[in-house]
Amino acid sequence: MALTKVKYCDGCQKDVEAVIVERPATYTFKGETFELIERVLQCPYCREDLYDELLDSETMRILTKLYEERVGLSLEEIKSIRGQYGLSMDLFSRILGWSKATIARYETGKYIPDNSHMQVLKKLKEKPETIDEYFKLNMHKFNEKEKRKILVKLNSYDQNIVEKNLVKLMNINYKMHEKTIDSGFRSFNFYKLVNMILFFAEEGIQKTKLMKLLFYSDFLNYKRNLISITGVPYVRLPYGPVPKDHDLLLSAIEKNEYIDIDYEYMNEYTFINIKAKRNFDDTLFNKEEIEILRQVKEFFKNYGSVAISEYSHNEDGWKYTQDRDIISYDFAETLSIGD
């Protein structure tokens, strides 16, 4: 049965029961010719095409997809390649040994790169570090000042890769606990955890205390709703519960510029202070979760690191879990706060 839609036909000057028809069509898009099957709305009386926004954008989507398949990279992807290094058009084009005008034409979509250039761009997209090879090849064309500038850009790009990979690593690390009692049946959410930390570390906080506040927030939410807030698994350490691989986690968060970590040495003690560098984003949390964060902060506001450590030693989750083992969220049932 044919699909129909009531539409006004200008030719017949009346509303008609327009029919959707499928037909082969040829389009020229960005200088390339494509054959495709399109769907259009047609008047059953005069057979004229009737404009339909949905069908029109459907055709456009098919065309864009065919174009990307043929040329290899979409315009958006081409534009993002230079951007990922933070290089100017001038420096980027000279590193590749191309003219500045060439890059400009590609980035504006005026020209589709020829095959050899497309292969270079694809390589930079898939393995961004290959830019080093092109730089070495054309290094002699730059003066000392330019060389230094390029190296700074490329090094900070390497740093970005480290940061991104750390976040990826934490996601993999916690993923194995996904949908189990270890994570409180929540998929790990890096940004939620980061923002929970920003909430507690707004005015600076000792690391030991912060770790406990995260534990209490996640466990309290589990106690009430049978799901954690962040999906973080916590392990039992001698001084209390902490997120699994917390040092790696904090380092990932620090390297991504969300927090500052300061070390203060006093006698044989090291005090680690954590301070938020960005604002807390409350849109990631529901009302109840926000309420829990406030409650936990308020409850422990007069507790220092030592006091909150000792307090946490009375929790069943700490008492009945082996050292370095994951604390089951089942223990949230007897959590000492939030009744």
Binding residues for Zn ion, rule: CB under 5 A, are 9, 11-12, 43, 45-46
49 vs 132 by CB, closer to Zn ion: 49
Residue 208, both tokens: 């030991």
CB of 46 to Zn ion, least distance (A): 3
52 vs 254 by CB, closer to Zn ion: 52
Tell me the residue nearest to Zn ion as measured from the CB: 43
Cα-Cα end-to-end distance for the chain? 61
CB of 168 to Zn ion, least distance (A): 57
CB of 28 to Zn ion, least distance (A): 28
How far apart, in whole angstroms, are the C-alpha atoms of residue 93 and residue 189? 39
| Dihedrals phi, psi of 48, to nearest 5 degrees | -75, 150
47 vs 70 by CB, closer to Zn ion: 47
11 vs 109 by CB, closer to Zn ion: 11
9 vs 96 by CB, closer to Zn ion: 9
Q: Given the structure tokens 């510029």, which residue do they identify?
A: 257
CB of 58 to Zn ion, least distance (A): 22
CB of 7 to Zn ion, least distance (A): 9
Residues near 59 by beta carbon (within 8 Å), at least 6 away in sequence: 25, 27, 36, 38, 39
Nearest 5°: the CA angle 21, 27, 28 is 170
Whether residue 101 contacts residue 124, with contact meaning beta carbons closer than 8 Å, is answered with no
How far apart, in whole angstroms, are the C-alpha atoms of residue 113 and residue 245? 46
